[in-house]
Structure 1
Amino acid sequence: MNQRVSRFLLSAMSSAVLAACSLPAWAVTLNISLDADPGKLDPTQSSMLNERIVYQSIFDKLVDLDGEGKIIPMLAERWTVSEDQKTYTLFLRKGVKFQDGTPFDAKAVEFNLLRGQEKTSLRRNELKYVSKITVVDDHTIKLDLSTPFAPFLSILTDRAGMMSSPAAVKKYGEDYVNHPVGTGPFVYEGRLKGATITLKKNPDYWRAGLPKVDEVVYKIMPDVNVAFNNLRSGQVDISNRFPYKEITNVPANASYTVLNKPSLGFRGFYMNTGKPPFDKKEVREAVDILIDRNAIAKVVYNNAVAAGHSPFSKAQFANGPSDVPPKVDLARAKALLKAAGKENGFSFKLTLPTTPDELQVGQMIQGMLRPAGITVTLEKTELATQIEAGKAGNFEGLFVGWSGRPDPDQNIYDFVTTNGSLNYSHFGAKEVDDLLHQARVEGDQAKRKSLYDQAMAILVKEVPYIYTVHDNVLFGIAKSVKGFQYVPDGVIRTATVSK
Structure 2
Amino acid sequence: MNKRTALGAASLVAALTLAGCSAGESVDIDGADSVDGDVLIAAIGGEPDQLDPQRTSSYFAFEVLENVFDTLVAPDENLEMQPALAESWEVSDDQLTWTFDLRDGVTFHDGSEFTSEDVVYSYRRIIDEQLANAWKFAAITDIAAPDDDTVVITVAQPTPNLLSNLGGFKGMAIVQQENVESGDITTAPIGTGPFSVTGYSSGDRITLAANSDYWGGAPELAGLEYRFISEPATALAALRAGDIHWTDVVPPQQVSELESDDTVQLGLTPSSDYWYLALNEAREPWSDVRVRQALAYAIDRDAIVQAVSYGTAALNQLAIPEQSVWYTEYDEYSTDLDTAQALLDEAGFTGGTLDLLATSDYPETVTAAQIIASNLEPLGIDVEIRQPDFSTWLDEQNTGNFDMLMMGWLGNIDPDDFYYAQHHTDGASNAQKYSNAEVDALLDAGRIETDPEARKELYAEAATIIADEVSYIYLYNPSVIQVWSPDVTGYTTRADRAIRFDEASLAG
Common topology (TM > 0.5): yes
Which of the residues 457, 471, 487 maps onto 2:494? 487
Q: Does 1:145 align with 2:152?
A: no
Residue 19 of structure 2: aligned partner: 17
Residue 176 of structure 2: aligned partner: 165
Q: Deviations along 1:121-145, whole A, 9 cap, x unmatched?
A: 3333323433212223322221112
Q: Secondary structure at the match of 1:401?
A: strand
Q: Deviations along 1:49-75, whole A, 9 cap, x unmatched?
A: 222111111112111111111111111
Which of the residues 446, 449, 460 maps onto 2:456? 449
User: Contact 2:467 / 2:473 at 8 angstroms: preserved in 1?
Assistant: no
Quote the offset at 1:339 in angstroms.
0.3
Counterpart code for 1:175: D
Residue 58 of structure 1: aligned partner: 68
Quote the offset at 1:325 in angstroms.
6.1
Which of the residues 280, 283, 303 maps onto 2:288? 280
Quote the offset at 1:299 in angstroms.
3.0
Q: Secondary structure at the match of 1:218?
A: strand
Q: Paired residues, what number? A: 481
Q: Give the whole-Å Cα distance in 1 for the aligned partners of 2:437 and 2:246.
A: 46
Quote the offset at 1:247 in angstroms.
0.5
Residue 111 of structure 2: aligned partner: 101
User: Contact 1:199 / 1:217 at 8 angstroms: preserved in 2?
Assistant: yes
Quote the offset at 1:190 in angstroms.
1.5
Q: Give the whole-Å Cα distance in 2 for the aligned partners of 1:100 and 1:329.
A: 61
Which of the residues 408, 421, 433 maps onto 2:440? 433
Matches within 5 A, 1:38-437: 38-119=48-129, 121-157=131-167, 158-170=169-181, 173-208=182-217, 210-250=218-258, 252-322=260-330, 324=331, 326-342=333-349, 344-354=350-360, 355-437=362-444
Gaps in structure 1 of 5+ consecutive residues? 1-13
User: Contact 1:98 / 1:182 at 8 angstroms: preserved in 2?
Assistant: yes
Q: Give the whole-Å Cα distance in 2 for the aligned partners of 1:52 and 1:111.
A: 21
Counterpart code for 1:180: P
Gaps in structure 2 of 5+ consecutive residues? 1-15, 30-35
Quote the offset at 1:116 in angstroms.
2.4
Q: Give the whole-Å Cα distance in 2 for the aligned partners of 1:194 and 1:395.
A: 32
Q: Secondary structure at the match of 2:290?
A: helix
Q: Secondary structure at the match of 2:159?
A: coil
Counterpart code for 1:124: A
Q: Deviations along 1:2-51, whole A, 9 cap, x unmatched?
A: xxxxxxxxxxxx96533679934963011111112112211221212222
Quote the offset at 1:167 in angstroms.
4.3
User: Contact 2:248 / 2:482 at 8 angstroms: preserved in 1?
Assistant: yes
Residue 10 of structure 1: aligned partner: none
User: Contact 1:316 / 1:408 at 8 angstroms: preserved in 2?
Assistant: no
Q: Give the whole-Å Cα distance in 1 for the aligned partners of 2:468 and 2:392.
A: 29
Residue 3 of structure 1: aligned partner: none
Counterpart code for 2:214: Y
Over 3 Å counting, the alpha-carbon distance change for 1:365 and 1:159 in structure 2 is closer
Quote the offset at 1:201 in angstroms.
1.0
User: Contact 1:419 / 1:426 at 8 angstroms: preserved in 2?
Assistant: no
Once the two structures are overlaid, the 10-residue window that deviates more, 79-88 or 64-73, is 79-88
Q: Deviations along 1:333-354, whole A, 9 cap, x unmatched?
A: 1111110112x43321211111
Q: TM-score, length-normalised on structure 1?
A: 0.91
Q: Secondary structure at the match of 2:384?
A: strand
Q: Give the whole-Å Cα distance in 2 for the aligned partners of 1:276 and 1:233.
A: 55
Q: Give the whole-Å Cα distance in 1 for the aligned partners of 2:227 and 2:377.
A: 42
Q: TM-score, length-normalised on structure 2?
A: 0.90
Quote the offset at 1:270 in angstroms.
1.2
Q: Deviations along 1:201-248, whole A, 9 cap, x unmatched?
A: 11211223x311001001111222222222222222111231111111
Quote the offset at 1:362 in angstroms.
1.3
User: Contact 2:170 / 2:411 at 8 angstroms: preserved in 1?
Assistant: no
Q: Give the whole-Å Cα distance in 1 for the aligned partners of 2:466 and 2:440.
A: 11
Quote the offset at 1:115 in angstroms.
2.2
Once the two structures are overlaid, the 10-residue window that deviates more, 81-90 or 248-257, is 248-257
Q: Give the whole-Å Cα distance in 2 for the aligned partners of 1:292 and 1:260.
A: 25
Q: Give the whole-Å Cα distance in 2 for the aligned partners of 1:165 and 1:15.
A: 23
User: Contact 2:231 / 2:249 at 8 angstroms: preserved in 1?
Assistant: no
Quote the offset at 1:254 in angstroms.
3.3
Counterpart code for 2:27: L
Q: Give the whole-Å Cα distance in 1 for the aligned partners of 2:94 and 2:456.
A: 20
Over 3 Å counting, the alpha-carbon distance change for 1:378 and 1:29 in structure 2 is same
RMSD of aligned residue pairs (Cα, Å) = 2.1
Quote the offset at 1:277 in angstroms.
1.9
**Greater fraction of residues in helix:** 1
Q: Secondary structure at the match of 2:408?
A: coil
